[in-house]
Structure 1
Amino acid sequence: MPRFPLIFAMLAAMLVLELAPQGWGMQVAAAWADDHDDDDDDDDDAQPRRRPAPQQAPRVRAPAPPPAFAANEILVRGLAQPDIEALRAQGFQPLRRATLSSGETLIRLRKPRHMTMAEARAAVRARETGGSADFNHFYRPEQGPACRGIDCPARQMIAWPAGTASCGTAPRIGMVDTGINASHPVFADSRLHVHRIGEGRNVDPSGQIHGTSVAALLVGQADSRSPGLVPGAELIAVDAFHLAGKDERADAFDLIEALDYLGAAKVGIINLSLAGPHNAALARQVRLLDGAGIVMVAAAGNGGPGAKPAYPAAYEPVIAVTAVDRREQVYRRAGRGKHIDFAAPGVDIWTAASVSGARTKTGTSFAAPFVTAAAALLMQSQPGIAPDMLRVRLQAAARDLGSKGHDDVFGHGLVIPANPCMAVAAP
């Protein structure tokens, strides 16, 4: 090749680089480098590689809500044998039967596969004696999240009277709850009796945390670390709960059996620190107990201000209790509604732990015993008082909170107990 053309070509290239904008050579090098990466694909038409999108953190799914009722089961009271046989012919299968103290039968039926739950309930209700049929609903302890803190001045907040055991005779108190650690030191001298529903059934027993705490609030030994509100009272506690995985619950069948047991035991008042949906068979049991003159007190529930009314608190004969803190502010998770009757301390409440010792607890579960105990003191000072009159007396003594008069948040206000010793001493 002649030397002059080669020299001219080199000079021309140098001139181009000299005249090019600063950094142009670097841009060409970079473009080459990218193009070289694409060559690895052995595809002349391949598009430049894109950077992978940044990985997003996996979404954490909220846990599924626990079931509201037992799958495939219908509960009915007073179903006559001919109707049972007719339902058998339709594919229903009796699972369990109990005879209540009144002589009325309570039966659980497994529905046919081809029927929905609503269809199965309607089919049973269509029978002459099946009008009370309903789902076998679940009820759960109304315990809020564990709280941290030291002993809370709940008693001083409502001027709870001390030393009332010697002034009259306290009524026999009943409660339906989870299991109870009856050997806890707090119950050393207490008149506590524990009865378990369905003993021997193939279910995991309930825990003892919730029931122990509620029972200790009522009848804990007076000189223990967790003294009860009415330590001298006799308490008949019925464990109607069981564990299904991590879900601690009582179905309507067992809850009705528990209430029937307490009615037969002649209790004067029943504490129900639990909540669930409306159930026709349960509603009938509540009416029967009310007709027998038994006072029922229940937790309003911890579903929050927008939740539907919780039962049994929302049944008319039952006294529904919400929870407030030491500033008399309503517990943020407490249920609300026209059925709320009273407020009581229920935030940072000092009570027994399940194994030994004590700790603070929060929830409408722990407010209900304050009203149960206040009712017990009133019954102690006025034996034979009718449930309607007892409610009137509690309303008259309550300290109004929130809007003037009864409201959906605090009911008639903060419960203020009567002192039976003062009542006895009065002329």
Structure 2
Amino acid sequence: MTLQKFTLVSLLAFSHLTSAQIINTKGIVKQIDSLERSVERIESQVSQKVTDRPFALSTLPPIDELLTEPLTLLPKTLAIGENLGKPLFVEVETEDGWRAIQNQWVVLANPQTKQHLIALGAFINSETNYSGLGLSLLRFTVPESLDSKQALAKHLPEQTLESLDRNHIYQAQTAAPQAQSSVTGQNLENSASKALCDTPVKIGMIDSGIDQQHGAFADAIIIAKSFLVDDLSSPQAHGTAVASVLVGDLGPLTPLLSHGKVYSAEVFYRQSDYSQGATLDAMITALNWLVEEQIKVVNMSLAGPPNKMLATIIKAASQQGTIIVAAAGNQGPAAPELYPAGYPEVIAVSAFDKQQQPYRWSNRGDYVDYSALGVNVVTAQVKRGLGKESGTSMAAPVVSAALSCLLTESGHRNSVDRQAILTSLSDLAVDLGPKGRDPIYGIGGIVRNLGESN
């Protein structure tokens, strides 16, 4: 029964009950006709199968433009470990805006310094002799009242203060997660398919863990060692990406070092789903191991604050003939220099894209030595094939690989003529941007296929 017939029957029945009332059924029928047509039109629209998307996802603005705070932003106090009620350690934001382990410091060890610290009420966490670096270090925790350089300076000799600093936290230098992509198929073209050298080389990296089960590493030689406290597990995404730039081989992903042997020192722990940190003391122990293994080129795709102890160990490693390459940082063109890239002994690397235009988030400054491709770089992704990543973290291993090749091909496998090697590297560099050295590209760009840079 249609809506019109049902209504008419109802009206007739109602008229018998209210015979004294006169009803104008003609006007009502017209209204019913109009209402029925509206109902049919709505029913047709609802029942119609929708085949088009309500909107195209490609028209949405990038998520990083919608966020009011970066995904990598961390709370001022962060407990680290599986049991947050009893964490392995607590990292905090310090008075200068950097991050460090709460109330924990490092200093060169000697008996007098140790006694001074104990007398002040400090707890000695460790006293370690690093034979590769030729240094002994104290790591200690102070009461809250002494947790500043100014407070400690009132009680410690001036000589002790020369190496005293916090146990700072350093972070990986890839783009924020929302700027990365995981893609397959035609989108993974990689024009830079030529290895930098085909000779057997050894190279070190201080980074996160590596997913060695990934198909990209089927033929790679990777020796990994963890330097995290109490078996704290290391995330694998960043280290996997960096290692794949060096020795990954799968489809469009081709290795910089076709016969490379990677010594991977794991120092990064998970801070959040979007960030990872490495303590200074873990980095020191990792660098000492690589020096002991006689690894002459070490890639450090990480950055953070200036630190007196970090400067000390970098200088010590350099004196042992180790060349350290570090990411210049992803804080942007106006940001101050980051470390270890900022130290004179370290080779600092900025990033550019395939058109050799500077990466928009790459740090700039007089401390930048070289540059390399670091935007939309094809990399291995943990447990999910290949993808693309951006950041100075991806540019640094290009320069590290080039130095390893030059070092090996020159015959200086056990000793390093640093100046001669760097001169050879500068000869390979393509002058980009302003003529000569500049704060964007440094001396120049290191590219895989020189013909493509012209």
1:393 aligns with 2:393: no
Identity of aligned residues (%): 31
Deviation at residue 152 of structure 1 after TM alignment: 4.6
User: Which amino acid in the other structure matches residue 145 of structure 2?
Assistant: H
1:298 aligns with one of 326, 329, 332: 326
1:219 Cα shift?
Answer: 1.4
The one-letter code sitting in structure 2 at the alignment partner of 1:308 is P
In the superposition, the TM-score normalised over structure 2's length comes to 0.72
Q: Match of 1:117?
A: 148
Sort the Cα spacing of 1:196 and 1:64 in 2 relative to 1 into closer, same or farther, 3 A: closer
Deviations 1:202-228 (A, max 9, x none): x4x23100000101111124x555332
Native 8 Å contact 1:124 1:130 kept in 2: no
Tell me: CA distance 1:122–1:129, structure 2 relative to 1, closer, same or farther (3 Å). closer
2:353 aligns with one of 325, 333, 340: 325
Partners of 2:369 and 2:68 in 1: how far apart?
A: 39
Equivalent residue for 2:435? 404
Query: Counterpart of 1:147?
Result: 180
SS in 2 for 1:119: helix
Give the Cα separation in 2 of the matches to 1:410 and 1:60.
31
Tell me the secondary structure at the aligned position of residue 105 of structure 1: strand
- Correspondence for 1:236: 263
Shift of 1:409: 0.8
Q: Is the 8 A contact 1:271 1:368 kept in 2?
A: yes
1:243 to partner: Cα distance: 2.1
Please report how far the alpha carbon of residue 109 of structure 1 lies from its aligned counterpart in structure 2 after TM superposition: 1.2
- Aligned match of 2:136: 105
Cα distance in 2 between the residues matched to 1:328 and 1:143: 18
Structure 2 counterpart of 1:197: 227
The residue correspondences of 1:160-171 to structure 2 (distance < 5 A) are 160-161=194-195, 164-165=197-198, 168-170=199-201
3-state secondary structure, aligned to 1:195: strand
Letter in 2 for 1:218: L
Q: Does 1:278 align with 2:315?
A: no
Shift of the alpha carbon at 1:108? 1.5
Alignment RMSD = 2.4
Between Structure 1 and Structure 2, how many residues are aligned? Answer: 350
- Segments of structure 2 that go 5 or more residues without pairing to the other structure are 1-66, 77-92
List per-residue Cα deviations over 1:277-303 (Å, max 9, x = no partner): 111111111111111221111111000
User: Partner letter of residue 151 of structure 1?
Assistant: L
Matched, 1:134 2:196: no
Per-residue deviation, 1:60: 6.2
1:158-201 Cα deviation digits (max 9, x unpaired): xx447x42xx442x100000111122221122110110003525
Q: Secondary structure at the match of 2:146?
A: coil
Q: Give the structure 2 partner of residue 88 of structure 1.
A: 118
Matched, 1:187 2:217: yes
CA drift at 1:418? 9.5
User: 2:315 matched to 1:287?
Assistant: yes
Encode CA deviations 1:95-122: one digit per residue, 9 max, x unaligned. Answer: 2332212553222211122224223442
Q: Distance in 2 between matches of 1:169 and 1:249?
A: 32
| Letter in structure 2 aligned against 1:400 | D
- Deviation of the 1:377 alpha carbon: 1.8
Computing the radius of gyration from Cα coordinates, the structure with the larger value is: 1
Q: Specify whether residues 198 and 125 from structure 1 end up closer, same or farther in structure 2 by C-alpha distance, changes over 3 A only.
A: farther
CA distance in 1 between counterparts of 2:74 and 2:160 reads 36
Equivalent position of 1:29 in the other structure: none
Alpha-carbon deviation of 1:81?
2.5
User: Residue type matched to 1:75 in 2?
Assistant: V
The code of the aligned residue for 2:262 comes to L
Alpha-carbon contact 1:124-1:133 (below 8 Å) kept: no
